[in-house]
Amino acid sequence: MVIIAIHDALLAQIGDPNPEAPPISDQLLQIFRYFTWFVLLSGVTGITYAGGRFAWEKWNGGPLASPKMLAGAMAGGLIATSAGTILNAVLG
């Protein structure tokens, strides 16, 4: 009985807390959105550049160094895409 009275007294003091976002959460989410667009743009630019260089090397008959660039750009895009998915799941 005493435990129930203490429990009710504590609940009356605490109340029902309403969850709210931290003060700078809007700015942090905006920075994450900008970073996501930057990563997307740099990935598309890297793959486009590597593909163009690959075509140029094939056309000129020179040594093919660009497939490594293309594979690196694709691997970087895969990592960046996975990081975005994980970030969205955590902040979601």
pLDDT digits (tens, 9 = 90+) for 2-27: 666 666 666 666 666 677 778 888 89
The pLDDT tens digits of the residues spanning 19-57 come to 777 888 889 889 988 988 888 888 888 888 888 888 888
> Would you say residue 92 has pLDDT above 80?
no
Q: Which domain does 56 fall in, by range?
A: 24-91
pLDDT at 13: 60
Q: Are 92 and 66 in contact (CB under 8 A)?
A: no
Is residue 55, in this structure, part of any structural domain at all? yes
Asked if residue 75 belongs to a domain, the reply is yes
In a domain, 3, yes or no: no
Domains held by the chain: number: 1
Token code pair at residue 66:
């660009």
Say if residues 47 and 74 touch (Cβ distance below 8 Å): yes
